[in-house]
Amino acid sequence: MKKTMTFMDSVHHYGRLWGWLLLVLIVAVPTVTCVVFQAVPQWEALGKGLVAVLPMYWAVGIVEIFTYVPMLGAGGTYLSFVTGNISNLKLPCALDALERANVKPSSEEGEIVSTIAIAVSSIVTTLIIIIGVILIVPLQPLLENPVLTAAFDQMLPALFGGLGVVFVSKNPKLAIAPIILMLTLFIGVDALNQGNVGIMVPVGVLFTIAVARILYKKGKL
């Protein structure tokens, strides 16, 4: 008798399947490019470049698994890792959906709500990108308007600011230490303001968990 696949079994089955498929597609792009243009990379230079960046990305990748899974659930994590843009888009959408549904991320309801939120976010993002590609030329004068450029630069901080107020207001004691740490790092380390922001998300989460543990042990939470 064939065993019925449960919801979580299907999540892990299709999550792993799409994860491996994504890996094949990522590797296929440079492989096909090399074959079509008959260009072989300089292996020595490639090796030196990989040695310089791989340790950081391996470390961040491992940390992100332990960071995002408790917040996004299994289905949301699989879907986020396949579609990308987690910290900027998928994570805020999932957290907002969980907040509005008043469910915990670790619950079955939270698992479903998070997965649906991230799926809808991925579909909407794709549609917006398609519309943007079509309208990029007609809207170019508007997008490059100096008056509006400053506003466009603040869209992402405004998004995270709105979410931040909600979660900080719930537990100000827990929020103080991470806020001070991030402000100190981003003000004092210029390199963090040059495209390395995503790396600090797992760092901030782990630091917050450690602070929460300490405060809990001292009876202040």
pLDDT digits (tens, 9 = 90+) for 157-179: 777 777 777 777 777 888 888 88
pLDDT digits (tens, 9 = 90+) for 75-90: 889 998 888 888 778 8
The predicted structure's pLDDT at residue 28 = 93
Q: Which residues lie below 8 Å from residue 11, measured CB to CB, with a gap of 6+?
A: 74, 75, 78, 111, 115
Q: Is residue 202 part of a domain?
A: no
**What φ, ψ does residue 205 adopt, rounded to 5°?**
-65, -45
Domain count of the fold of the chain:
2
Indicate whether 32 and 58 sit together in one domain: no
The predicted structure's pLDDT at residue 219 = 82
The predicted structure's pLDDT at residue 136 = 82
What is the band of 20 on the pLDDT scale with cuts at 50, 70, 90? very high
Q: Which domain holds residue 19?
A: 1-40
Closest-CA residue to 93 (of 110, 114, 78, 79): 114
Higher pLDDT, residue 63 or 198: 63
Strand, coil or helix: what is 104? coil
C-beta neighbour count of 61 within 10 angstroms: 12
Indicate whether 28 and 106 sit together in one domain: no
Side-chain-side CA neighbours of 20 within 13 Å: the count stands at 5
| Total count of residues recorded for the chain | 221
The predicted structure's pLDDT at residue 162 = 74
Positive or negative: CA dihedral 175, 189, 66, 163: positive
5: region left, alpha or beta (phi > 0 left; psi from -120 to 50 alpha): beta
Q: Is residue 69 part of a domain?
A: yes
Indicate whether 141 and 62 sit together in one domain: yes
The predicted structure's pLDDT at residue 2 = 56
Indicate whether 115 and 65 sit together in one domain: yes
What is the band of 142 on the pLDDT scale with cuts at 50, 70, 90? confident
Higher pLDDT, residue 111 or 148: 111
Q: Give 89's DSSP letter.
A: I
Q: What is the pTM of this model?
A: 0.65
Indicate whether 27 and 87 sit together in one domain: no
Tokens of 178: 């991470």
pLDDT exceeds 60 at position 180: yes
**What φ, ψ does residue 5 adopt, rounded to 5°?**
-80, 125
Higher pLDDT, residue 156 or 94: 94
